[in-house]
Amino acid sequence: MKILLTNDDGIDAEGLVVMAQTVARWIADAPEGEVREAVIAAPHQNFSGAAAAVGNVFEDGAVSYERRVIPGAEGIPAYCIVAPPSLCATIGCLGAFGGIPDAVLSGINPGSNVGHSVLHSGTIGAVLTAAQLGIPGVAVSAQWGEFIHYQSAGTLALEVLEEVLQARGVVTISLNVPNLPLSAIKGVRRGRISDAVLVEAVAPVEGGGDLPDRGIFNLVYGEASPQLGDASGEEPDDDLVLVESGYACVTALQGPRENTDLGLDGLLRASLTRIDHHLRAD
């Protein structure tokens, strides 16, 4: 089996280095007769908040790359790609590095990806992109802190990855791990995406009144920011609450799909009628 590693913080990020080192040990510990491989394809710079963006792929139809070496994971081929994480995942999932990967492992992201922040996360965008190409994946995020216990997140990520590799169909998992030593983590729970938002308000522009021609908008971060916020208003099984309470949290995700809510039938029919009438009138 072959794993594609990527992230949204760039190929030099500590979280990716720890994840690569963890995967290197996983490869070395393969049971007799089982072939384990990995390749790293990570962005050249930080693309936090890039979601599933691929950039302007139509400009010249080419993407630059450079071979790199990850300390402690020298046996894993590594490539620095001048591209956002989702395009890195696309290039890898299409077999550019020799064979189609069996799964994509994205992270470790410094900061939780909970609540509505899953929509904006480049870490998660990479695995959602892989899923669109028929490849399962695990996005790994560690709770923010002055010192981040990346090793805890990496260890748990490999446990989840093992299950994903054995699952039927294309499974996409977001794993959020509290910033604790492995022995201090209370357990693991299945979490739902909370209602917590990444940005909850825009601070008034200094001076108030009409907006000047040029200025600055100051953002007010919500509970789903990397530092996490007040979880008192959330439900016990919300991802934000679980991580804040010291539990690792796994959440199954799915990418864009048609909204089949029957309640929208009337709206869609009315729209079709209106458009059809407009076209006939012309």
| Alpha helix (H) residue ranges in 29-173 | 85-93, 122-132, 150-166
DSSP per-residue codes, 94-136: TTTTTS--SEEEEEEEES---GGGGGT-HHHHHHHHHHHTT--
- β partners of residue 203: 218
Mean pLDDT, range 229-242, rounded to an integer:
78
pTM exceeds 0.85, yes or no? yes
Q: In this structure, what are the phi and psi dihedrals at residue 211, rounded to the nearest 5 degrees?
A: -70, 135
Burial class of residue 261, CB neighbours in 10 A (0-12, 13-18, 19+): exposed
Mean pLDDT, range 243-249, rounded to an integer:
94
State how far the Cα of 225 lies from the Cα of 231, in Å rounded to an integer.
12
Paired sense of beta strands 2-6 and 103-110, if any: parallel
pLDDT at position 223 is 84
Q: Do the beta carbons of residue 80 and residue 101 sit within 8 Å?
A: no
For the chain, state the CA radius of gyration: 21
Does residue 282 register a pLDDT over 90? no
State how far the Cα of 157 lies from the Cα of 104, in Å rounded to an integer.
11
Mean pLDDT, range 211-232, rounded to an integer:
77
pLDDT at position 91 is 97
Q: For the range 94-100, what are the long-range contacts, defined as Cβ-Cβ under 8 Å and sequence gap of 24 or more?
A: 94/133, 96/41, 97/4, 97/39, 97/41, 98/39, 99/2, 100/2, 100/135
Least confident of 16-25, 143-152, 267-276: 267-276
Count of other CB atoms within 10 angstroms of residue 144: 15
Paired sense of beta strands 2-6 and 37-43, if any: parallel
pLDDT at position 277 is 86
- β partners of residue 190: 250
Mean pLDDT, range 93-109, rounded to an integer:
96
How far CA 49 is from CA of 86, 145, 156, in Å, comes to 12, 19, 24
Ordered structural domains, the chain, with CATH:
2-192+233-253 (3.40.1210.10)
State how far the Cα of 24 lies from the Cα of 44, in Å rounded to an integer.
22
pLDDT digits (tens, 9 = 90+) for 64-100: 999 999 999 999 999 999 999 999 999 999 999 999 9
How far CA 100 is from CA of 4, 29, 65, 133, in Å, comes to 9, 22, 18, 10
Does residue 208 register a pLDDT over 90? no
* Residue 259 confidence class, pLDDT cut points 50, 70, 90: confident
Mean pLDDT, range 193-222, rounded to an integer:
82
- Structure tokens belonging to residue 179: 């910033």
pLDDT digits (tens, 9 = 90+) for 167-180: 988 999 999 999 99
pLDDT digits (tens, 9 = 90+) for 119-132: 999 999 999 999 99
Mean pLDDT, range 129-152, rounded to an integer:
96
* Residue 238 confidence class, pLDDT cut points 50, 70, 90: very high
- Structure tokens belonging to residue 215: 């200025």
CA end-to-end span of the chain: 58
State how far the Cα of 203 lies from the Cα of 117, in Å rounded to an integer.
20
pLDDT at position 278 is 81
As a whole number, the mean pLDDT across the chain is 92
Does residue 181 register a pLDDT over 80? yes
pLDDT at position 207 is 61
